Amino acid sequence: MEERYQPELVEPKWQAYWKENHVFKVTEDPSKEKYYLLEMFPYPSGKIHIGHVRNYTIGDVVVRYKRMKGFNVLHPMGWDAFGMPAENAAIDNNTHPAAWTYDNISAMRVQLKKMGFSYDWDREIATCRPEYYKWEQWLFLKMLEKGMAYRKESYVNWCEKCQTVLANEQVEQDKCWRCSQTVQQKKLWQWFFKITDYAQDLLVHCDQLPGWPDKVTVMQKNWIGRSVGSELKFKIDGRNEDIVVFTTRPDTVFGATFMCLAPEHPLVESLSKGNKQQDEVAAFVQKVSRQERSAEGLEKYEKEGVFTGAYCINPATEQKIPVYTANFVLMEYGTGAIMSVPAGDQRDFDFARKYGLDIRIVVQPEGETLDANTMSEAYTGAGIMVNSGEFNGLDSKAAMDIMTDWLEQKGRGKKTISYRLRDWGISRQRYWGAPIPVIHCPDCGVVPVPEADLPIRLPEEANLLAKGGSPLSTLAYFATVTCPECGRQDAKRDTDTMDTFVESSWYYLRYCSPRYDDGMFDPKAVRYWAPVDQYIGGVEHAVLHLLYSRYFMRVLHTLGMIDFKEPFTRLLTQGMVCKETMTCPEHGYLFPEEAVKTADGNLVCTRCNQDVAVGRVIKMSKSKKNVVDPNELLEKYGADVTRLFSLFAAPPERDLEWSEDGVEGSNRFVNRVWRLVLEWLEKIEDSKPFAGPASDLSSEPAKALYIKANQTIQKVTEDIDKSFHFNTAISAVMELVNEMYAIDAEATDTEMKTVIRFSLENILLLLSPIIPHFCEELFERLGKTGSILEHPWPDYRKDSLKTDEVLVVVQINGKLRSKFTMGVGAKEAVIKEMALADEKIKKHMGDKPPKKVIVIIKKQTLVNIVV
């Protein structure tokens, strides 16, 4: 007998077996219930890291479990292959994004195969292949045709020195990450998808996704950000023109003492024109245009604004109020203009104090009297209306509707709904992406590429460092085309590529028929497999990717291509695997292996020997280099121990700071099971597994073990099926294994052997989704034929889960004072009597009589005596 489990022999053997027998290949089979499990596909960044291992192990366990439960399971894998890192790597390593990407895919595929994941590799896709993005271009054309895609001017980060567009990630404290030039904002014509058309539908269905974690639907709801309010018109003083604002607090309109416009608001320029503030306003707009536009970036800037020199008329008070432009007003939200009520909004309050503007109190909190001169902060709550003409004395909540109606009658307002959600900008001025299939003709304007010309292939030539914006625009043979409508020779192709979120918004449908050539997908295959039953991926995608995917399914639904709207029936958001970052003053971010400890305990860079700074613990990502490659673990312990350990470390939804401490324990456990099975192998050769109720067993040890084994089956099944808490499932099996180690092999009778056989077989079945190679091997040695995958998942006997005794816990004033066991099913009064008669309890109570005795008989039996 081999003393130890040898993964280097066992794992390749079974991987070959699965491959030869096409165990994971699936086709549509109407006779079986389908189950589509998908893990978020990886970006091919180089090597897989522990975060991938964790994600894909979780999925693989569920897949193998479902397969044993009799489902026809689709479990595909592919590559989210377009994206910016490929361009950066190509520049840094003087290679081509495609070469870099395909090399990474090959390397990562090998790693995934070594992990023993049960993918149907025949369905593999890579989004950078024309066969894939052709259909995305096709969909773009459909959306264009239906008015779901449109063009407008919008801002990008721009580095004047590099003459290039920068992603938010490439902007570090307002500076270009390559040259440290201050980043500017540049207006470009870009394509947008009208996701806002579906804002309401996306929002209401958040409450109809019972298989999603609440936190994700809450985040999506907040992201969509529906608010009910009013659109109010403020007439511009001296002009026959209005400024329209959106407000959620129409009740405070009498308190609007000034107006703020977004710096990009079209009226800003014309309002300030000819005023003495004109230059100051222009300078301010210029200054703000250099500021970052991301939400987190905006917060870094001090809230400020300038007076435009113009006034408008408050429709309630009919008084003139000054119009400002301010950097905290967003053009994208509402109408790009806000009425400022300093008494009722903290930001407005700060602004008013800063610039000496009027504060007019219109809502008084009950039982208090605010004074505009002395108040130190805005009062944002509800209260009684004051200084509001005929509405004084009203409750402010009731006033909202009443005042909006009043303004509507005056033609100055109406009720409206506003969403925070913005349309999805999909144009990217980058090379490594799917070209947008549109031609710009000087005569015909925007002309869609004829469907027959699809795919518009990405040219092989990659001018990544070309100056002036989109790399593709520098390739004349690509950029200049004949107009398909009028035949003009000098029409221009759109040289932008699509956001990579477009690819990931529909790839799960492509997996249903990955080689289909007549459309995005084969409708028959999608009808069978879709939607995805269980989706698993990092919680960092809670909003963008998951919302875009939901949107895309609505688009396809509207186009009549599918008959469902929600892509993912159940969602498991896995916590992130985190690790500290390390930076060297010279070489920037370092991989873990690039920092070594010196004799005096300092961390230094392996290349320059300078001290390394240890940063915060954040999610693993290639760009921050805080990644751990699983190869070392794989080589030392094999795939199964790596899988077991990554699951045992924490429940899936929890974030995890990566540490390898503890992997020895997983390895030890695997070997404990190995020895346990081999030790019993011959002794139980002729025994059949026991199958009756526990009450049929004559010996107490046999009964106890049988009950424990049944409890374990129940626990593991529920942990996998209901909560995905694999760590506690593994603990439960460990407990059973520990009990089996306590059995005296010499003093074992025939009956016991049948229970041992039952327990061992079930241990292997229960562990097989987690450590499949190992279990296949031992199952075979137990004399079973075929793959363990083909065996049904075990059932437990409901009549064999409980022992005849129950533990009674006795507390006095909530503190544990005594415990005893008694026969199961005792009446409340008997338990109470026993508890009061207990020696320890008597001692504790002395001669004080109990005020109250509470007896709980649920899962626990507990008595609490209140003295």
- Min. distance of Cβ 253 from RNA in angstroms? 24
Out of 57, 396, 621, 711, the only residue in the binding site for RNA (CB under 7 A) is: 621
Of 229-237, 294-302, 387-395, 407-415, the segment contacting RNA by CB under 7 A is: 294-302
Out of 103, 145, 443, 655, the only residue in the binding site for RNA (CB under 7 A) is: 655
Q: Any contact of residue 816 with RNA (CB under 7 A)? A: yes
Which among 611, 695, 503, 368 is positioned nearest to 83, based on CA atoms?
A: 503
- Min. distance of Cβ 255 from RNA in angstroms? 22
Tokens found for residue 515: 């080689």
Of 210-218, 365-373, 683-691, 778-786, the segment contacting RNA by CB under 7 A is: 210-218
Q: Any contact of residue 273 with RNA (CB under 7 A)? A: no
User: What is d(CA 690, CA 592) in angstroms, rounded to the nearest whole number?
Assistant: 52
By C-beta, is 151 or 619 nearer to RNA? 619
Tokens found for residue 792: 């049904």
Out of 94, 476, 682, 815, the only residue in the binding site for RNA (CB under 7 A) is: 815
Q: Any contact of residue 51 with RNA (CB under 7 A)? A: no
Q: Any contact of residue 814 with RNA (CB under 7 A)? A: yes
By C-beta, is 545 or 773 nearer to RNA? 545
- Min. distance of Cβ 346 from RNA in angstroms? 9
By C-beta, is 382 or 650 nearer to RNA? 650
Out of 21, 294, 602, 609, the only residue in the binding site for RNA (CB under 7 A) is: 294
Tokens found for residue 338: 């806000």
Q: Any contact of residue 662 with RNA (CB under 7 A)? A: yes
Dihedral sign (CA 142, 460, 43, 109):
positive
State the DSSP string of 758-813: HHHHHHHHHHTTTSHHHHHHHHHHTT--S-GGGSPPPP--GGGS--SEEEEEEEET
State the DSSP string of 400-435: HHHHHHHHHHTTSEEEEEEES---EE-EE--SSSPB
In our burial notation (b when 16+ CB lie closer than 10 A, e otherwise), range 90-103 reads beeeeebbbebbbe
Judge residue 16's burial from the number of C-beta atoms within 10 Å of its C-beta, 0-12 exposed, 13-18 middle, 19 or more buried. Answer: exposed
By C-beta, is 20 or 296 nearer to RNA? 296
Draw the binding track, 533-552, toward RNA (x: CB under 7 A; -: no contact): ------xxxxxxx-------
> Across-strand partners of 244?
233
Q: Any contact of residue 727 with RNA (CB under 7 A)? A: yes
Out of 360, 428, 550, 643, the only residue in the binding site for RNA (CB under 7 A) is: 428
Out of 317, 427, 714, 754, the only residue in the binding site for RNA (CB under 7 A) is: 427
Draw the binding track, 784-813, toward RNA (x: CB under 7 A; -: no contact): -----------------------x-x-x-x
> Across-strand partners of 811?
816, 864
User: What is d(CA 395, CA 781) in angstroms, rounded to the nearest whole number?
Assistant: 79
Of 64-72, 89-97, 737-745, 755-763, the segment contacting RNA by CB under 7 A is: 737-745
Of 301-309, 349-357, 519-527, 734-742, the segment contacting RNA by CB under 7 A is: 734-742
By C-beta, is 150 or 741 nearer to RNA? 741
User: What is d(CA 156, CA 188) in angstroms, rounded to the nearest whole number?
Assistant: 7
Strand, helix or coil for residue 528: helix
Which among 194, 196, 202 is positioned nearest to 147, based on CA atoms?
A: 194
The number of beta carbons lying within 10 Å of the beta carbon of residue 130 is 14
- Min. distance of Cβ 155 from RNA in angstroms? 8
**Span 740-779, contacts to RNA by CB under 7 A:** 741-742
Out of 623, 631, 695, 699, the only residue in the binding site for RNA (CB under 7 A) is: 623
Which are the contacts of 283, defined by CB distance < 8 A and separation ≥ 6? none
Out of 49, 725, 757, 773, the only residue in the binding site for RNA (CB under 7 A) is: 725
Q: Any contact of residue 219 with RNA (CB under 7 A)? A: yes
Tokens found for residue 281: 């306003």
User: What is d(CA 788, CA 149) in angstroms, rounded to the nearest whole number?
Assistant: 51
Residue whose tokens read 């295959």: 525
Q: Any contact of residue 860 with RNA (CB under 7 A)? A: yes
Quick check: 791 and 28 in contact, CB under 8 A?
no
Quick check: 347 and 301 in contact, CB under 8 A?
no
By C-beta, is 534 or 626 nearer to RNA? 626
Q: Any contact of residue 498 with RNA (CB under 7 A)? A: no
By C-beta, is 519 or 662 nearer to RNA? 662
Q: Any contact of residue 689 with RNA (CB under 7 A)? A: no
The number of beta carbons lying within 10 Å of the beta carbon of residue 162 is 16
Q: Any contact of residue 730 with RNA (CB under 7 A)? A: yes
By C-beta, is 3 or 847 nearer to RNA? 3
User: What is d(CA 531, CA 563) in angstroms, rounded to the nearest whole number?
Assistant: 10
User: What is d(CA 40, CA 56) in angstroms, rounded to the nearest whole number?
Assistant: 9
**Span 349-368, contacts to RNA by CB under 7 A:** none
Q: Any contact of residue 852 with RNA (CB under 7 A)? A: yes
Out of 237, 844, 845, 857, the only residue in the binding site for RNA (CB under 7 A) is: 844
Q: Any contact of residue 613 with RNA (CB under 7 A)? A: no
Q: Any contact of residue 665 with RNA (CB under 7 A)? A: yes
- Min. distance of Cβ 699 from RNA in angstroms? 21
By C-beta, is 12 or 46 nearer to RNA? 46
By C-beta, is 194 or 619 nearer to RNA? 619
Q: Any contact of residue 276 with RNA (CB under 7 A)? A: no
Q: For residue 714, what is the enclosing H or E element?
A: helix 700-718
Report angle CA 312, 317, 322 to the nearest 5 degrees.
Answer: 30
Q: Any contact of residue 167 with RNA (CB under 7 A)? A: yes
**Span 128-157, contacts to RNA by CB under 7 A:** 156-157
HSE of 408, CA atoms in CB hemisphere, 13 A: 13
User: What is d(CA 463, CA 163) in angstroms, rounded to the nearest whole number?
Assistant: 13
> Is the preceding omega at residue 455 within 30 degrees of 0, hence cis?
yes
Strand, helix or coil for residue 439: strand
Draw the binding track, 19-48, toward RNA (x: CB under 7 A; -: no contact): ------------------------x-----
Out of 33, 145, 490, 664, the only residue in the binding site for RNA (CB under 7 A) is: 664
- Min. distance of Cβ 815 from RNA in angstroms? 6
Number of residues binding to RNA, judged by CB under 7 A: 107
Q: Any contact of residue 336 with RNA (CB under 7 A)? A: no
Quick check: 330 and 260 in contact, CB under 8 A?
no
By C-beta, is 156 or 403 nearer to RNA? 156
Which are the contacts of 773, defined by CB distance < 8 A and separation ≥ 6? 7, 10, 11, 13, 14, 15, 116, 638, 639, 640
Q: Any contact of residue 717 with RNA (CB under 7 A)? A: no
User: What is d(CA 864, CA 852) in angstroms, rounded to the nearest whole number?
Assistant: 8
Q: Any contact of residue 821 with RNA (CB under 7 A)? A: no
Out of 563, 657, 679, 749, the only residue in the binding site for RNA (CB under 7 A) is: 657
Q: Any contact of residue 611 with RNA (CB under 7 A)? A: no
Out of 15, 184, 314, 666, the only residue in the binding site for RNA (CB under 7 A) is: 666
**Span 227-256, contacts to RNA by CB under 7 A:** none
> Across-strand partners of 175?
172, 182
User: What is d(CA 762, CA 798) in angstroms, rounded to the nearest whole number?
Assistant: 16
Q: Any contact of residue 704 with RNA (CB under 7 A)? A: no
Out of 34, 672, 784, 791, the only residue in the binding site for RNA (CB under 7 A) is: 672
**Span 81-100, contacts to RNA by CB under 7 A:** 83-85
Of 231-239, 793-801, 823-831, 852-860, the segment contacting RNA by CB under 7 A is: 852-860
